[in-house]
């Protein structure tokens, strides 16, 4: 009986799968290896107490928005906070996508653009990246001209390839589009270039960010959108009233006010450089350039490498069965110790 009650879009639908695999080093989900900053840990009891969990959280996360606005160089009314940027992708669909509307996104890219498109009943147009995983801007322009997508996603830098799209190309795409263009900057801090400053120039631009990556708060689920008020008012219209819990709001705020970010980013960038160099020394391995905290690597036998790493307690992300990513594993740049362990594991397997 229940089967007959389910929405058409959900019948036979497969959601994003997260496997619980035991590990010693977690290098599969682009998290950072850092714990909460010392000064936050030290005051955690006070912080928790002041969060007043017996009452509902601030529905608009006002203080957090002020801090995020400062960080982005915009005003708080240009910020929308979500339960992870995942939730914001979902809310964008909820606010703007009717069944049958067209959503375009790069391929290969972040899986949730497709997952939420399917749930919304959108028509999906994946736009292939080039052979070297750089963006094919002409293809995007052609897709926009032909299908007039309601929504275009650009992931910059792109997950899982680590490649980027240049500012002038993003602007070309925004100007061509009669729909909304979402630029997902989840990995901005490891790249340094942003389009956030253009939100008032282009009324159809939404920039997505997250505290899950460089800020190391994946478990708190805090993402945010930066856009003009005219777009954000519709996201506010469809969101749950208390989407960000009190503890996440206050801990995120405290972490934003610490000054550990720069040092932590530099650590990851140094380790990225070192990993790319070391991986490049292993014969038969193809390493792609990266502007993120992960590296896409192709192997002749990705299954053998994935399993061999797993046996050594290293969890990486297997993309080798995804069309366009044959032979590829994605490795998150982690602590020096974890990265060394990974390199040694790979050498044992491949030399």
Residue numbers at the binding site for ligand PMP (CB under 6 A): 30, 84-86, 110, 155, 159, 184, 186, 210, 212, 218, 223
Q: Using CA atoms, how far apart are residues 67 and 222, in angstroms rounded to an integer?
A: 13
Q: Using CA atoms, how far apart are residues 126 and 105, in angstroms rounded to an integer?
A: 5
Which CB, 28 or 101, lies closer to ligand PMP? 28
Which CB, 61 or 346, lies closer to ligand PMP? 61
Q: Which two tokens stand for residue 272?
A: 């990225």
Which CB, 217 or 279, lies closer to ligand PMP? 217
Q: What is the smallest separation between the CB atom of 112 and ligand PMP, expressed in angstroms?
A: 7
Q: Residue 329 belongs to what H/E stretch?
A: strand 328-332
Q: Using CA atoms, how far apart are residues 226 and 235, in angstroms rounded to an integer?
A: 11
Which CB, 25 or 187, lies closer to ligand PMP? 187
Cis link prior to 108 (omega < 30° from 0)?
yes
Q: What is the smallest separation between the CB atom of 1 and ligand PMP, expressed in angstroms?
A: 34
Within 10 A of 332 (CB to CB), how many other CB atoms are there? 26
Q: Which two tokens stand for residue 235?
A: 């996201």
Q: What is the smallest separation between the CB atom of 158 and ligand PMP, expressed in angstroms?
A: 7
Which CB, 37 or 84, lies closer to ligand PMP? 84
Q: What is the smallest separation between the CB atom of 116 and ligand PMP, expressed in angstroms?
A: 11
Inter-axis angle of helices 167-176 and 137-147, to 10 degrees? 10
Which CB, 92 or 346, lies closer to ligand PMP? 92
Q: Residue 252: CB partners within 8 Å, gap ≥ 6? A: 64, 211, 215, 217, 220, 222
Q: Residue 225: CB partners within 8 Å, gap ≥ 6? A: 79, 80, 82, 85, 88, 92, 206, 207, 208, 209, 232, 235
Q: What is the smallest separation between the CB atom of 49 and ligand PMP, expressed in angstroms?
A: 27
- Please report, for residues 25, 192, 281, 282, 288, the alpha-carbon distance to residue 275 in angstroms, rounded to integers and kept in the order given: 15, 20, 10, 11, 12
The bridge status of strand 286-287 relative to strand 123-128 is: unpaired
Q: What is the smallest separation between the CB atom of 79 and ligand PMP, expressed in angstroms?
A: 14
The β-bridge partners of 226 are 79, 207
Q: What is the smallest separation between the CB atom of 30 and ligand PMP, expressed in angstroms?
A: 6
Which CB, 119 or 285, lies closer to ligand PMP? 119
Which CB, 225 or 297, lies closer to ligand PMP? 225
Q: What is the smallest separation between the CB atom of 184 and ligand PMP, expressed in angstroms?
A: 5
Cis link prior to 197 (omega < 30° from 0)?
no
Which CB, 187 or 299, lies closer to ligand PMP? 187
- Please report, for residues 34, 176, 218, 268, 304, the alpha-carbon distance to residue 71 in angstroms, rounded to integers and kept in the order given: 20, 30, 18, 20, 43
Q: What is the smallest separation between the CB atom of 212 and ligand PMP, expressed in angstroms?
A: 3
Handedness of CA 35, 41, 45, 47 (dihedral sign): negative
Residue 90 · residue 116 · CB < 8 Å: yes
């Amino acid at each position: 009986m229940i089967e007959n009650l389910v929405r058409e879009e959900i019948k036979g639908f497969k959601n994003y799968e997260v496997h619980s695999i035991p590990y010693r080093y977690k290098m599969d989900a682009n998290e950072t290896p850092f714990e909460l900053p010392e000064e936050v840990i030290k005051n955690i009891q006070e912080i928790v107490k002041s969060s007043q969990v017996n009452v509902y959280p601030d529905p608009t996360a006002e203080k957090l928005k002020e801090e995020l606005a400062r960080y982005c160089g915009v005003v708080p009314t240009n910020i929308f906070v979500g339960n992870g940027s995942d939730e914001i992708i979902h809310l964008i669909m909820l606010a703007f996508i009717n069944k049958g509307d067209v959503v375009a996104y790069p391929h290969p890219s972040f899986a949730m653009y497709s997952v939420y498109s399917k749930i919304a009943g959108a028509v999906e147009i994946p736009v292939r990246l080039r052979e070297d995983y750089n963006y094919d801007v002409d293809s995007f322009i052609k897709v926009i001209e032909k299908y007039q997508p309601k929504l275009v996603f650009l992931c910059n830098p792109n997950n899982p390839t680590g490649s980027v799209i240049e500012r002038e190309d993003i602007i070309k795409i925004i100007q061509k589009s009669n729909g909304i263009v979402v630029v997902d900057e989840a990995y901005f801090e490891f790249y340094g270039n942003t389009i956030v400053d253009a939100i008032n120039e282009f009324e159809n631009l939404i920039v997505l960010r997250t505290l899950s990556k460089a800020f190391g708060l994946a478990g708190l689920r805090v993402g945010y959108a930066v856009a003009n008020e005219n777009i954000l008012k519709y996201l506010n219209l469809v969101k749950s009233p208390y989407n960000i819990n009190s503890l996440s709001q206050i801990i995120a705020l405290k972490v934003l006010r610490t000054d550990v970010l720069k040092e932590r980013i530099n650590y990851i960038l140094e380790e990225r450089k070192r990993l790319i160099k070391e991986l490049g020394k292993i014969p038969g391995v193809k390493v792609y350039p990266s502007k993120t905290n992960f590296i896409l690597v192709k192997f002749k036998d990705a299954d053998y490498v994935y399993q061999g790493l797993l046996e050594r307690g290293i969890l990486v992300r297997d993309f080798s069965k995804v069309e366009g990513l044959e032979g590829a594993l994605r490795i998150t740049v982690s602590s020096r110790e974890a990265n060394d362990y990974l390199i040694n594991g790979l050498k044992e397997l491949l030399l």
